[in-house]
Structure 1
Amino acid sequence: MRTPYEYAIIQAMPRVERGEVINVGVLLYCHRRDFLRARTHLHPDRLRALDPGADVEAVRVALESWERTCTDAGTPSPMTQGERFRWLVAPRSTVLRAGPVHMGLAADPGAELERLLDLLVR
């Protein structure tokens, strides 16, 4: 049985003033399946194409924190999965941000997350 989910693309914007982004991950939340995960994949050459001086390692570490936040390991206080998802997709002016939230239907949220990562990031 397919259940509804929400997802957002995680984007890197190394030079905020220019507004150029690359897709570096996907955040997927499925309330009915008790599922919240982020999967990331950074292409260093794409990041450097936008900013030759970009700190690739710092971006990589920041992406890992998004993945930890989904498991409640990186949040400042106990939060539900829904609260963590909304916190991660909230607008921000940082090198990493989430794009708009989209909806979908899937039987297996984990497999859908991998499909979206392949389609939108890799």
Structure 2
Amino acid sequence: MSERRAYNYAVIRVVPRVERDEFVNAGVILYSQQHKFLGMRVRVNEAKLRSLWPETPMEAICKHLDAAMKICEGAADGGPIAKLSMSERFQWLTSPRSTMIQISPVRTGLTSDPQRTLDHLAEDLIS
């Protein structure tokens, strides 16, 4: 068994109407410096979002989440932020925002398998 090492994670929240403070969890970002791992899982529950606000701009939300995924992956078409180090990309992705896509506080844990931990967190936390 591999050694358990520290990781940080945050939940991605979609807030259809910022002034109402209602949100639906739509993703998880996990970073482990020691494992050299940065990963993200996204699953958008359109029905839940529309129940909070029928006019939720799903196309714009999906476009922003796709861009975040490219940044997380360090994709060539992810723009200049995608070229930063894993640590810098995690910091950028988890920076506080007051838009429709918001991030929970960053939390920590220990894992010997960051991919499995990410999958577990996604299953447990994404609505």
TM-score interval for Structure 1 and Structure 2 normalised by the shorter chain: over 0.9
Q: What's the % identity of the aligned pairs?
A: 39
> SS of 2:18's equivalent?
coil
The aligned counterpart of 2:85 is 80
Write the deviation string for residues 46-91 of structure 1: whole angstroms up to 9, x where unpaired. 1101110012122122111111111222242431111111111111
- Structure 1 alignment gaps of length 5 or more: none
Number of residue-to-residue matches in the alignment:
122
Using structure 1 for the length normalisation, give the TM-score: 0.94
TM-score (structure 2 length as normaliser)? 0.90
Give the equivalent residue in structure 2 for 1:38. 40
- Unaligned regions of 5+ residues in structure 2, if any? none
Q: Which amino acid aligns with 2:113?
A: D
SS at match of 1:116: helix
| Aligned equivalents of 2:79, 2:41: Cα separation in 1 | 17
> What secondary structure does 1:33 align onto?
coil
2:108 maps to: 103
Give 1:22 deviation, angstroms. Answer: 0.8
In the aligned structure 1, how far is the partner of 2:53 from the partner of 2:68?
22
AA matched with 2:115: G
- CA distance in 2 between counterparts of 1:41 and 1:106 reads 23
